[in-house]
């Protein structure tokens, strides 16, 4: 699993002072083994795909793909690369 650090910066000019607010978030990109662990777990992990919260139904470790469902639209089944999944 690779950890990617995402930094969002917001700067605003107030008179002659600049205020910068930074929000750092570490997101772990998925590998097939970790995706399988999460799919097999009785505890639902916080996983996203393209920013959308999902749950993992099945993992094909040989092909590196996962069958996922959106939490907002559980009937919408997709097959995606496990590298597109992020564990929060």
pLDDT at res. 78: 95
Q: Domain count of the chain?
A: 1
Question: Residue 65: which of 49, 48, 53, 80 has the closest Cα?
Answer: 80
| Cα dihedral 25, 38, 71, 49 sign | positive
What is the pTM for the complete model shown? 0.67
DSSP letter assigned to residue 72 = S
Q: Which residues contact 28 (CB under 8 A, 6 or more apart)?
A: 1, 2, 3, 4, 34, 86, 87
Res 1: pLDDT: 47
Its domain, for residue 11, covers 2-87
Q: What are phi and psi of 16, to 5 degrees?
A: -100, 0
* Tens of pLDDT, residue by residue, the chain (88 residues): 445 555 555 555 555 565 556 666 555 568 999 999 999 999 988 999 998 999 999 999 999 999 999 999 999 999 999 999 998 8
């Amino acid at each position: 699993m690779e950890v990617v650090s995402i930094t969002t910066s917001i700067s605003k000019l107030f008179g002659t002072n600049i205020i910068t607010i930074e929000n750092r978030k570490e997101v772990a990109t998925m590998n097939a083994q970790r995706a399988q662990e999460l799919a097999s777990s009785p505890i639902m992990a916080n996983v996203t795909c393209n920013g959308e919260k999902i749950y993992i139904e099945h993992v094909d470790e040989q092909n590196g793909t996962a069958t996922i469902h959106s939490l907002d639209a559980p009937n919408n089944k997709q097959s995606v690369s496990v590298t597109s999944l992020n564990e929060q």
